[in-house]
Chain A
Amino acid sequence: MRIPILYNARSVLQRPVSTAFTALGIGLVVAVFIAMLALANGFRVALTRTGSDNNVLVLRRGADSELSSGLGRDAASILASSPHVATGPDGRALASPEVYVLIPLTRLGDDTTALANVVVRGISQSAWDVRNNVRVLEGRRPESGRSEICVGRKIAPRFAHTGVGETLRFAGRDWTVVCHFSAGGSAFESEIWGENEQFMPVFRGEVFQSVSFRLADPAAFEEAKRSLEADKRLTVDVHRESSFYVEQSQLLGRILEILAFFITSIMAVGAVFGAVNTMYAAVQSRSPEIAVLLTLGFHPRSVLASFLVESALIAAVGGVIGGLLALQINGVVTSTTNWASFSEIAFSFMVTPGLLVAGMIFAVVMGLIGGFFPAWRAARLPVVQALR
């Protein structure tokens, strides 16, 4: 015989404040849980979207980031003429040798000692085709031979002098902002792009940092990797673009996730304690009713189940509250330094349906754990004593 859930629902409503507090406490834990994982998620996703499976990133052998890499002009031409590189509709190789540097800029609103190292990428014209998720939002692409730059969507609102038509000064030169671009929410949106030939003399001399190209045959990555790395004229490491950026997200992503689990576990213990208190009090005050139920013939197992369900219900309400709270932060843009590449990256909190479900499960688990011992006590109530 199953104890009707209506009994639990009504009883829960009998002590509204206590129930509300417990649910809210669990809700807050769930909210923090989801929010922090949304932060880690947003960061990872921004980086994952950055690379394409069909593209290849070539760096100097041993370099762990574009920053520490260096490829000469000859290496760049050898790579561009490789048969593994796809050709565009105009017959030119879809390969972009790129300059990658960081420049210090002050975030709007921070004081002047607070610096962000923003990625400045010197691209070739083919970069716009190699990376096919990039679009110009406002303005036009920078022209060859001019001191013109295009600013990523996430940089523009957060740094001064980055509006279209404005002039940004760095590396001792003035650069005119001619466009803003979007890149599918990827890390590229935190970059400033300009022509590689323009940047080379200003920055690192006659050296590129990387070459990115589209695979002629997307399935032939391994082949391309083997062949290029074995080429005696080059000393390079060949990475699939997507894997490379995912790798770059590991360090910070992991830190954020560890932080999330650490913080929410501690909070969860507190919330579970709260649930335990509430359920024990509930069992205590309802002892006569429980005794009646047992006398009527309901199996102690049913009583146990009944209280567990009650606890889970309260927690589930908390889970919903937590999810709703966390959703408020969805899409909020924040920024930090990706220590793997030492560069500023802006990304948004990303609350996914998966996270919401995880939060809900988390809540219910907290409720079940908290409710277990009180439910056990209810099931083993000595009837005679309770009826007195």
Chain B
Amino acid sequence: MKFLRLVLANLGRHKLRTLLTTASVALALFLFATLRTVVTTLESAAQFGSARRLVTTNATGIVFVLPLAYANKLRAVPGVEAVTWANWFGGRYGDGKRFFAQVAVDPESYLAMYPEISLPEDQKQAFLRERSSAIVGRRLLDVFGWRLGQDVTIQGTIFSGDWTFTIRGVYTPTDPVINDDMLLFRHDYLEERIGRPGIAGWYVLRIDKPDNAAVVAKTIDDQFRNSSSPSKTGTEQAFNASFATMWGNVSLLMGTIGMAVVFAILLVSANAMMMNARERTGEVAVLKTIGFSDRRLFGLVMLEAGVMTITGAVIGLGGAKLLYKATNFNAAGFLPGFDVTTRTLMIGAGVALLLMLGSGLVPAVRAARLPVVQALRRVE
């Protein structure tokens, strides 16, 4: 665009001001993208799960267990192809500052239920063979510096005492439904040590057809409704979704802060544009004299605002996307899969346009409306 050079020259008049304003916009949009991504990450975690897997928990509450005896009964329900179970261990490793999930599973059936847990065959066999072995997510090796074959000791909280496992496998998730930082050990090892009859924290079932989910769930829950451990069955997605909501109204908090951020930066860029305009009434008059129309001057001022805001947006939004991707950020385990979505980028672009309009509108209208003769008299 031939007018771009004129606009850039104008912005170059106060390089520092242009730089600082663009940087502010970049920072604001970086922050905006980050805040929104917290919300989208939590929301998308609620989407994880296979349509063919159901989760059965104790209806009384998630902290209550189910009898292991249910396994056979569940297998017998029409539509159920496979059953596995797990217990939340919830121990503390080291100083406990870095949280990660520790779960006791029935090795054979659990790995069959979750093909998303991918690990080399020999490691899998070792896990199936050794009673006190464990498999860990790839990320834990980076976080704690663990190695294959190493012993790790965890302090039990729900199940007291020190628990030592040997790392016999490192898994990589092939789908975000599985976190990359879990420690899975064997259920029979748990049972042996606690010496109590078989209990399951929850069951995971695979059904033959996703459409049958509601029917199967109802059948199961009806069956156990009047027992001492009534069940609540739902899709894996619903189960995951309920965790995300436990944070509370995160989207409101992030949204409000996001608005404050955008507004604050709007003030900065509008101020810069105003300062630019104030110094240039004479030149606007000269341009009008040459024959630049009011409309064209409106456009030039808008373009000036636009160059700063769009450049800032590209840097800020792009920076956020690249940074989080490159560092594989997951907020110390709390926000797995933290990635700036395309939708967030689009909304960010919209915000940049808003900033352009908000900061450029008044100076642009003023420039368009500038009465040449009066302005010239000031020039002379």
Contact B247 A62 (CB under 8 A): no
Chain B 260-273: CB-based contact to A (< 8 A → 1; otherwise 0): 11011101101110
Interface segment, one of A2-10, A272-280, A351-359 = A272-280
A267 touching B264, Cβ below 8 Å: yes
Q: How far is the CB of A137 from chain B (nearest CB, A)?
A: 24
Give which listed residue, A62, A102, A337, contacts B63 with CB less than 8 A: A102
A271 and B264 contacting across the interface, CB-CB below 8 Å: yes
Chain A residues whose C-beta falls within 8 Å of the C-beta of B14 in the assembled complex: 280
Stretch from B20-28, B125-133, B175-183 that touches the partner: B20-28
Flag if A25 contacts B264 (CB, 8 Å): yes
* CB neighbours of A281 from chain B (8 A): 17, 275
Whether A153 is near chain B, meaning CB under 8 Å from some CB there, is: no
B3 beta carbon closer than 8 Å to chain A: no
Inter-chain contacts of A67 with B (CB < 8 A): 63, 158
- Smallest distance from the beta carbon of B63 to chain A beta carbons, Å? 5
Q: Which residue of A lies closest to B250 (CB)?
A: A336
The answer to whether A276 and B20 touch across the interface, beta carbons within 8 angstroms, is: yes
CA A280 to CA B18, docked complex, whole Å: 12
Known: A18-B274, A266-B30, A281-B275. A32 touches B257 (CB 8 A): yes
> Quick check: A31 and B63 within 8 Å, CB to CB?
no
CB B326 to nearest CB in A, in angstroms, measures 18
Q: How far, in angstroms, from A67 to B65 measured CA to CA in the complex?
A: 13
Contact A62 B28 (CB under 8 A): no
Stretch at the interface among B134-142, B210-218, B237-245, B341-349: B237-245
Number of interface residues of A (CB under 8 A): 59
Contact at B157–A68, with CB atoms within 8 Å?
yes
Tell me whether A219 is interfacial, beta carbon within 8 Å. no
Residues of B within 8 A of A170 (CB): 60-61
Q: Is the CB of B63 within 8 A of A342?
A: yes
A337 and B247 contacting across the interface, CB-CB below 8 Å: yes
> Bound state CA distance, A68 and B270, in angstroms?
55
A149 touches B (CB below 8 Å): no
Q: Which residues of A contact B272 (CB under 8 A)?
A: 274, 277
A312 CA to B241 CA, complexed, in Å: 48
Asked whether B21 lies within 8 Å of A115 as measured between CB atoms, the reply is no
**A54 in contact (CB, < 8 A):** no
Quick one: given A113-B241, A270-B268, are A103 and B248 in contact (CB under 8 Å)?
A: no
Contact of A63 among B158, B242, B246, B271 (CB under 8 A): B158
List the A side residues contacting B60 at CB < 8 Å: 101, 103, 170-172, 202-203
Q: How far is the CA of A101 from the CA of B261 in the complex (A)?
A: 40
Contact of A235 among B160, B246, B271 (CB under 8 A): B160
Instruction: Using known A-B contacts A28-B263, A32-B257, A62-B160, determine if residue A18 contacts B64 with beta carbons closer than 8 Å.
Output: no
State in angstroms the CA–CA spacing of A61 and B274 once bound together. Answer: 66
Does B268 contact A336, Cβ atoms closer than 8 Å? Answer: no
Most buried by A among B59, B267, B270: B267
Contact call A25/B16, Cβ cutoff below 8 A: no
Interface size class of B (residues with CB under 8 A): 35 or more
Cα distance, A280 to B276, chains bound together (Å): 12
B72 interface residue, CB < 8 Å from A? no
Question: How near does chain A come to B309, taking the closest CB pair, in angstroms?
Answer: 13
**Is A131 close to B, CB under 8 A?**
no
Q: Are A68 and B271 in contact (CB under 8 A)?
A: no
The verdict on B372 contacting chain A, using a C-beta distance below 8 Å, is no
Contact call B24/A270, Cβ cutoff below 8 A: yes
A202 to B230, CA, bound (A): 11
Question: In the bound complex, how far is the Cα of B274 from the Cα of A334, in angstroms?
Answer: 40
Contact of B242 (CB < 8 Å), options: A114, A267, A335 = A114
| Inter-subunit contact B245/A110 (CB<8 Å) | yes
A 231-242 to B, binary, CB cutoff 8 A, 1 in contact else 0? 000010000000
Any A CB within 8 A of the CB of B47: no
Give B300-316 interface residues, CB cut-off 8 Å to A: none
Closest CB-CB distance, B315 to chain A, in whole Å?
Answer: 13
Please determine whether A113 and B245 come into contact, CB atoms closer than 8 angstroms. yes
**CA–CA, A94 to B270, complex, Å?**
65
Chain A residues contacting B257 (CB-CB under 8 Å) are: 32, 36, 263
| Contact status A204-B268, CB under 8 Å | no
Contacts of B94 in A (CB 8 A): none
Most B C-beta atoms less than 10 A away, residue of A36, A172, A277, A334: A277
Q: Is A361 an interface residue (CB 8 A)?
A: no
Q: How far is the CA of A117 from the CA of B245 in the complex (A)?
A: 11
A273 touches B268 (CB 8 A): yes
Question: Among the listed A25, A39, A62, which residue makes an inter-chain contact with B267, where contact means beta carbons less than 8 Å apart?
Answer: A25
The answer to whether B242 and A113 have CB atoms under 8 Å apart is: yes
A22: which of B156, B230, B246, B271 is its contact (CB, 8 Å)?
Answer: B271
Interface residues of A in 302-343 (CB under 8 A from B): 334-337, 339, 342
| Alpha-carbon distance A65/B92, docked complex (angstroms) | 12
A204: which B residues are within 8 A, CB to CB? 64
Contacts of A104 in B (CB 8 A): 61-62, 242
Q: Does A269 contact B (CB under 8 A)?
A: yes
**Within B5-24, which residues are at the interface with A (CB < 8 Å)?**
14, 16-17, 20-21, 23-24
Complex CA–CA separation, A266 to B265 (angstroms):
11
Complex CA distance for A192 and B230, rounded to whole angstroms = 22
* CB atoms of B267 and A60 under 8 A apart: no
| Minimum CB–CB distance for B225 against chain A, Å | 9
Let me know if B31 is at the binding interface, CB within 8 A: yes
Is the CB of A24 closer than 8 A to any CB of chain B? yes
Complex Cα distance A255/B261, Å?
Answer: 20
Assembled-state Cα–Cα distance A170/B63 (Å): 14
Q: Is B161 an interface residue (CB 8 A)?
A: yes
Contact among B16, B157, B246, B268 for A64, CB-based, below 8 A = B157
Shortest CB-to-CB span from A96 to chain B, Å, is 21
Across-interface contacts of B28 in A (CB, < 8 A): 266-267, 270
Report the Cα distance A114→B31, complex, angstroms: 27
7 contacts between A and B (CB under 8 A): A28-B260, A115-B246, A170-B60, A266-B30, A273-B23, A281-B17, A335-B248
Extra 17 A-B pairs, beta carbons < 8 Å, given A65-B157, A267-B264? A17-B274, A28-B263, A32-B257, A62-B157, A67-B63, A101-B61, A102-B63, A116-B246, A203-B64, A273-B20, A273-B21, A274-B272, A277-B20, A277-B21, A334-B249, A336-B248, A337-B246
Query: Which 6 A-B pairs give the minimum distances between C-beta atoms?
Result: A62-B160, A274-B268, A336-B248, A114-B245, A68-B158, A270-B24
